């Protein structure tokens, strides 16, 4: 009669430990992927604000930022052509790609402020008119995953081009290179190449 052999306790423990290690690796990879997706989305929102600032400064037509909650996206718009009751003139700026946000960041949950007043770009684009002062724009993105809460705020000054980024994961804002005015005559650098 052949003897039946089962698993020993050591074999069961080894298999359980290996399965636990694989689960930890899988969870850490998924968490890391979401962090990278959030960082990429934040970078794209910063780029969108930069393009908004540049277009509002140099374009001949009004420019705006729009949100599409159904597509979970943000887009840069320009106002061109004739307007009537059916068409308000806003068309996507084809030189700036639409920002599709990851599923764990809902566009409708993002906060937009223009000169301190809350606006909803899903209803009406956040606009800037040529020849008019641009409003100060503040945008807040949040990630509220369990254990991975994070907030990124962008602040685009009314006279600046580059948004200042504040990240809850970092101690200080990530902004443009700080510039200090230097009097070239007083510092003795008036003849140097710069």
For the stretch 139-185, pLDDT in tens is: 999 887 766 788 999 999 988 889 999 988 776 555 544 456 667 77
Q: What percent of the chain has pLDDT above 90?
A: 35
**Average pLDDT rounded to a whole number, residues 105-132:** 89
Q: Give per-residue pLDDT as tens, 17-35.
A: 989 888 887 776 666 777 8
pLDDT at 177: 46
Q: What is the CATH number of domain 13-176?
A: 3.55.40.10
Give the full edge-to-edge strand order of the sheet including 150-156: 117-119, 111-114, 137-143, 150-156, 164-167
Q: Give per-residue pLDDT as tens, 100-114.
A: 998 888 888 899 999
The pLDDT confidence band at residue 82, using thresholds 50, 70 and 90, is: confident
The pLDDT confidence band at residue 37, using thresholds 50, 70 and 90, is: confident
Write down the domain spans for the chain.
13-176
How many CB atoms are located within 10 Å of the residue 102 CB? 15
Q: In this model, does residue 194 exceed pLDDT 60?
A: no
pLDDT at 176: 44
């Amino acid at each position: 009669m052949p003897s039946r052999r089962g698993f020993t306790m050591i074999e069961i423990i080894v298999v359980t430990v290996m399965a636990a290690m694989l689960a930890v690796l899988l969870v850490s990879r998924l968490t890391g992927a979401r962090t990278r997706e959030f960082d990429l989305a934040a970078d794209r929102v910063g780029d969108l604000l930069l393009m908004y600032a540049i277009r509002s400064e140099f374009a001949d037509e009004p420019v705006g930022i729009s949100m599409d909650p159904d597509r979970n996206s943000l887009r840069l718009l320009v106002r061109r052509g004739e307007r009537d009751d059916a068409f308000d003139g806003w068309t996507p700026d084809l030189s700036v790609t639409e920002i599709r946000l990851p599923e764990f960041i809902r566009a409708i949950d993002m906060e937009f402020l223009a000169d301190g007043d809350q606006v909803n770009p899903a209803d009406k684009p956040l606009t800037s008119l040529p020849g008019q002062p641009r409003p100060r724009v503040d945008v807040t993105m949040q990630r509220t995953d369990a254990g991975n809460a994070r907030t990124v705020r962008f602040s685009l000054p009314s006279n600046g081009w580059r948004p200042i980024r504040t990240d809850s994961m970092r101690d200080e804002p990530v902004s443009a290179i700080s510039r200090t005015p230097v009097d070239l005559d007083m510092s003795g650098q008036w003849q140097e190449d710069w």
